[in-house]
Amino acid sequence: MSKSLVSDYFSCISDTLPYLKSYFGKVFVIKYGGSVMSNPSVKLQFIRDLCFLYFCGINIILVHGGGPSISKWLSRLNIQTKFKSGVRVTDTQTMEIVEMVLVGKINKELVLSFNLEGVPSIGLSGKDAGLITARPSSNEEDNLVGLVDNVDIRLLNLLLANKYVPVISPIASGNNNKTYNINADTVAGAISSSLKADKLILLTDAPGVMRNLGDSSTLIKELDINYANQLKKDSIISGGMIPKVDCCISALECGVKSTHIIDGNKKHALLHEILTDDRMGSMITL
C-alpha cells in the first residue's frame, strides 16, 4: 500500500472519531435478516464490522432471522412451506423445524463467528431466563406465529454489563407453555423499546424507504414519524416495508433515540450508515 493510500486510510478512521465518541457506552439493537445471510463474504464482513463497534465501546444486541434456511430445511424434510399475508404459517410440525434451525443452527453459527473474532457472545432464544413472553397472533387453531407480550431485560442488562454480546433467536414461549415463532423485526423492536436503546437498526434486503419502489435513487435518507405515516397513507410505503417502518415508529414512541433500515447485502453498510453523514439507508426519528 502506497504512503498516500495509507494516509487516506487513517484519515478515514480519524473522521469517524466524533461518531464513535458520541456512541461510546450506548446500546444498539441490530436485526440481521435471514435474507442477507446468504453471501458468506458479506456475512463475515458484517460480523467484523459489529466486532469493530464492540471494541469501540458500543453495547450490541443482535437479533437474527433465518427464513431462507428454514424454507430449505422444510424442503429437505418434505414439509410444505406456506405463507399467509407474507407471514410463514407455523403449525406444530413446522415449529419444530423453525426452532431447530434458528436456535440450534443459525444462532450458534453466529455466536461462533463472534467468538472467533475475540468478542464474547452468548446465544439465546426468548425462552432463556424468560427473556420474552409471547402470545398467539391469532385465534386460529395450531397457529404458532406469535407476538411479543413482554420483555424481561434483566438478563440482557447483566450480559451487557459484563461485556457480552447477546445473540437472540426470535423464538419464545407463552403463558400456555407453547412455543411461538415471532418476526425478528418485532423482537428487535420490542427489545430496543424495553431497553430504550440508542439505536434500532434493521438490516434487510432493501435499500430503505424509497419514493419509487425498485428505484434506489429515490431513497429517502431521513424522515420523521409524521412523514413516515404520510408516506404510508399515500401508499409510497407499502408491502413488506410497512411492518418494518411500523416497528421503527413503535420503538421511537417507546423511547428509542433513532431507527435505521438499511440494505445488509452491501459491504460495510452498517458502518457507512452510522459513521458518516452520507447514509446508505433510511433513518427514521421522532
Count the alpha carbons within 13 Å of 17 in the hemisphere toward its beta carbon.
Answer: 6
Going across the sheet that includes 258-263, the strands are 121-125, 165-169, 59-64, 27-32, 199-204, 258-263, 282-285, 222-224
Q: How many CB atoms lie within 10 A of CB 222?
A: 12
d(CA 83, CA 102): 18
67 a known binding residue?
yes
Residue 62 near residue 123 (C-beta atoms within 8 A):
no
Exposed, middle or buried: residue 70 (CB in 10 Å: 0-12, 13-18, 19+)?
Answer: buried
126 is in an annotated binding site: no
CA neighbor of 181 nearest in space, from 68, 82, 251, 91: 91
Binding residues for substrate: 66-67, 88, 181
Binding residues: 66-67, 88, 181
